[in-house]
A and B are shown apart, each in its own frame.
Chain A
Amino acid sequence: MPKTPLAFTLNDAETGIFVDDGQNLLEALRRGAGDLSPKYGCGQGTCGACTVLIDGVPHLSCLTLAEAVAGRRMDTTAGLAEGAELHPLQRAFMEGFAAQCGYCTPGMLMAAKALLAANPRPSREEVIEAISGNLCRCTGYEPIVTAILEAAAKLQGRAA
């Protein structure tokens, strides 16, 4: 099968891989770039487990053609922490019991990160709206919404 070279920035690292024709970004990231944090949940854009940020905007990597990200900047949950220091969102998810099986968590964190970047002081309704594309079967969402609000407050405190 013919392979196409593809270069992009993944979590601040210059990355180059080869992709198959028609390969989606989820497979390219997982198998090609070895970043296993985005998850396959449905392959049809309904569950949000594969959410990654492309130039800061959340995208469903299972519905994104890998070749479309050439030269662009991508962020995934694998790069959310700063070295050994966890991001406030990660801290809040841990302490607020916002993950049980953990399968939706990487996608959820990316949706939350994009929200807080665009809107540092979101209301509860805005948080719910921001994660409305991400399904979770374990938590019932309440702890996730609360954790995102807590992380937002913490980030605000840090900024002030």
Chain B
Amino acid sequence: MSIEFRKDLFADERDDNLNEIGKPKLRQDIEGHVTGRTAYYDDHLFDGLLHMRCLRSPHHHARVRSVDVAEAERMAGVRRVVRPADVPSNLNTLLSLIGFGKDDEQLLSDPVVRYRGEPILAIIADTEAIARSACAAVRVDWEVLPHVLDVEEAIAPGAPSVNPAYPDNTFTYAPYDHVKLRFGDVAAGFAQADHIVEAEYEMSPIEQAPMETCGAIAAPETADRFVCHTGTQALFFSLGTTAKLLDIASSRLHFIGGTVGGGFGGKVDSITEPMAVLGAMLTGRPVKFQWDRMEEMQVGAPRGAERWRIKDGVMADGRIVARQFTGFFDAGAYTRLSSYAGHKGTGHLPGPYTIPNVASNVFCVFTNRTPATAMRGFGITGVDFALECHMDRVAEAVGVDPVSLRILNAYRDGDMKAHRRSAKNCALVECCQVAAGKAGWGLSAQDMAASSLTGTTAARAAIPETALDDEGQEGARRAGRCASADPAPGTRRLPAGVQGRAMAAVPVQRPDMQILAERIGHKIPEGGPAPAAAPTAPARLPNDPAAAAPGPALPAAAADPAPVPPAAAPTPPAVPEPTAPYAPEKPFSRGVKRPGVSRFLSGSRRR
């Protein structure tokens, strides 16, 4: 089967005389794979290797009243019982390395467990079998606590509080307890529509199920360092997380990885590496911490469950004039990467369709389920599933051909997205045409003549007047005011043409969503790292133009002399202060390189 590339369909748009792209290549690592010589983390042999196993909670939510390890400690071959107090800095959240979210999870939990399978201690022994038997010999007195396993039950009044860092069971997207998107006025759109189509969609958690389970081997190295072979997908994330949890300089950690026996997102959580290194620190011996298949399935963080409610206002001819979302991401008991899923899911709305009125509330909810994390387009796949099911439902309700409905509503180049960014390089119309052709699905001449390159209008390219509301303010639920799942009609209006809330005073939280030339290569402005969370001073000056004012990427909007919010007034560039000598307040508390740390990290060795 031959592959058609978009460049074939848009041949006039650019000249792609590429030497490598589009041509078959051998994978550079394939010879190792077929000869069995590829060395995964577990393919490194150590003399005197010890094995670590965790004792895990059988309950969804419980308090440890007491633990009796006397029998386990007496067993022949048991080298060490690792307790929560042995973890030097036993509280972390994965994205703290990029300054996002509150520390909310312990490596070994004490005294409360918040999901089934959460570890409360670990045992290091000569063999895996001994470690297993020793864990079985530990006696724990559990006080079982009420639990909640459904996202909407978790945000109902009186629900058990899952995670003390977020007592309302919702991740905080300051100043709201959900991610908010407002574009136009959905209430006006619904009033104008001929049909209202409303439905709910759900997706279960999905385990990545890599063939190689999560694991790491750590061993003492020379010069007071530790080597760690790991199957992680995020080597430097794991290194930074290990340094933080164990409260040691990251220069004492020598991480070796990059060969992953299948990841799919499930190997970013950086749990096995700090455990293995801690084991090596406590025993002075090489220690392997490897999940067995049951652990991989039970405690390996899956793609989180999602629930989406979509309400569309549709005209009789199939044009969608309003689309409203309520989304729930089930984070499980701890944040991991689910907070990011909320942003990604919202960033994907309202799908690849130009809809003049969009409103969305997306909640990242804590429940007593296994914490969720990355998996193959997490935050996107579930939304797409819901969106495209809903498109079919709309087509049926209105009596329009489903492919035709998509072509009618698809983004055209130049259209304004609900995120106030211009759509460009659109190809949904062409995808529909090619797919219909392959499937022998008849399309009208009008649909076959449609193109992503044409069809935008001044109205489609403009930012409409937008209805705002302040519901769902952080902490409102605790005060007895529940955030309504339905966005209420706006009480305030944001004038047409305005990009949105001024972001100048908000610290940068989503580096990958704002591609700024100044950020590339993690450059830190002269004058040393600015405090990331200082709300009064912009952490990085380059924020202002891109976030608060119509950016250069939006010629249509830039030409619009719209009133610019006061906070977005161009800030004069700060005078660079002389570079202060590097003096960390805490060793490597931030995960990125800083000027003057090492010439091997700064890239200057290339010169």
Q: Does B404 contact A (CB under 8 A)?
A: no
Assembled-state Cα–Cα distance A104/B201 (Å): 35
Smallest Cβ distance from B271 to chain A, in angstroms?
19
Smallest Cβ distance from B258 to chain A, in angstroms?
12
By beta carbon, the residue of chain B nearest A136 is B211
Taken residue by residue from 378 to 415, chain B's Cβ proximity to chain A (1 for < 8 Å, 0 otherwise) reads as 00000000000000000000000000000000000000
Assembled-state Cα–Cα distance A43/B32 (Å): 23
Q: Does A106 contact B (CB under 8 A)?
A: yes
In chain A, positions 69-112 with a C-beta closer than 8 Å to chain B are: 76-78, 80-81, 86, 89-90, 93-95, 97, 99-106, 109
Q: Which chain B positions have C-beta within 8 A of A22? A: 129
Q: Which chain A positions have C-beta within 8 A of B34? A: 77, 86, 89-90, 93-94, 99, 102, 105, 109
By beta carbon, the residue of chain A nearest B210 is A137
Q: Which of B26, B45, B261, B292 contacts A101 (CB 8 A)?
A: B261
Q: Which chain B positions have C-beta within 8 A of A46? A: 293
- On whether A103 and B36 interact (CB within 8 A), knowing A31-B45, A137-B264, the answer reads no
Q: Does B16 contact A (CB under 8 A)?
A: no
By beta carbon, the residue of chain A nearest B292 is A43
B38 contacts A102, CB within 8 Å?
Answer: yes
Q: Which chain A positions have C-beta within 8 A of B75? A: none
Assembled-state Cα–Cα distance A138/B29 (Å): 15
In chain A, positions 51-79 with a C-beta closer than 8 Å to chain B are: 76-78
Smallest Cβ distance from B206 to chain A, in angstroms?
12
- On whether A39 and B211 interact (CB within 8 A), knowing A34-B45, A93-B34, A106-B36, the answer reads yes
By beta carbon, the residue of chain A nearest B260 is A101
Q: Does B196 contact A (CB under 8 A)?
A: no
Q: Does B31 contact A (CB under 8 A)?
A: yes
B35 contacts A41, CB within 8 Å?
Answer: no
Q: Does A44 contact B (CB under 8 A)?
A: yes
Assembled-state Cα–Cα distance A47/B210 (Å): 11
Q: Does B469 contact A (CB under 8 A)?
A: no
By beta carbon, the residue of chain A nearest B30 is A94
Q: Does B606 contact A (CB under 8 A)?
A: no
A36 contacts B36, CB within 8 Å?
Answer: yes
Taken residue by residue from 509 to 530, chain B's Cβ proximity to chain A (1 for < 8 Å, 0 otherwise) reads as 0000000000000000000000
- On whether A138 and B262 interact (CB within 8 A), knowing A41-B212, A76-B36, A78-B35, the answer reads yes
Q: Which chain B positions have C-beta within 8 A of A47? A: 211, 293
B43 contacts A36, CB within 8 Å?
Answer: yes
Taken residue by residue from 31 to 42, chain A's Cβ proximity to chain B (1 for < 8 Å, 0 otherwise) reads as 100101101111
Q: Which chain A positions have C-beta within 8 A of B438? A: none
Q: Which of B30, B209, B261, B293 contacts A39 (CB 8 A)?
A: B261
Assembled-state Cα–Cα distance A76/B37 (Å): 12
Classify the secondary structure of A's interface with B.
loop
B35 contacts A90, CB within 8 Å?
Answer: yes
A86 contacts B211, CB within 8 Å?
Answer: no
Q: Which chain A positions have C-beta within 8 A of B43? A: 36
A78 contacts B211, CB within 8 Å?
Answer: no
Q: Which chain A positions have C-beta within 8 A of B35? A: 37, 77-78, 80-81, 86, 90
Assembled-state Cα–Cα distance A142/B68 (Å): 52
Q: Does A49 contact B (CB under 8 A)?
A: yes
- On whether A39 and B45 interact (CB within 8 A), knowing A77-B36, A95-B26, the answer reads no
A101 contacts B36, CB within 8 Å?
Answer: no
Q: Does A135 contact B (CB under 8 A)?
A: yes
In chain B, positions 248-284 with a C-beta closer than 8 Å to chain A are: 260-264
Q: Does B39 contact A (CB under 8 A)?
A: yes
A99 contacts B33, CB within 8 Å?
Answer: yes
Assembled-state Cα–Cα distance A81/B211 (Å): 24
Taken residue by residue from 15 to 58, chain B's Cβ proximity to chain A (1 for < 8 Å, 0 otherwise) reads as 00000000000110111111111111011010000000000000
Q: Which of A20, A44, A97 contacts B293 (CB 8 A)?
A: A44
A94 contacts B31, CB within 8 Å?
Answer: yes
A137 contacts B209, CB within 8 Å?
Answer: yes
Q: Which chain B positions have C-beta within 8 A of A77? A: 34-36
In chain A, positions 4-57 with a C-beta closer than 8 Å to chain B are: 20, 22, 31, 34, 36-37, 39-44, 46-47, 49
A42 contacts B293, CB within 8 Å?
Answer: yes
By beta carbon, the residue of chain A nearest B77 is A1
Q: Which chain A positions have C-beta within 8 A of B212? A: 39-41, 101, 103
Q: Does B213 contact A (CB under 8 A)?
A: yes
Q: Which chain B positions have C-beta within 8 A of A136? A: 211
6 contacts between A and B (CB under 8 A): A36-B43, A39-B40, A39-B261, A46-B293, A78-B37, A102-B33
A residues with a Cβ closer than 8 A to B are 1, 20, 22, 31, 34, 36-37, 39-44, 46-47, 49, 76-78, 80-81, 86, 89-90, 93-95, 97, 99-106, 109, 135-138
What are the 7 A-B residue pairs with the smallest beta carbon separation, nearest first?
A37-B36, A102-B33, A103-B261, A77-B36, A90-B34, A42-B293, A103-B211
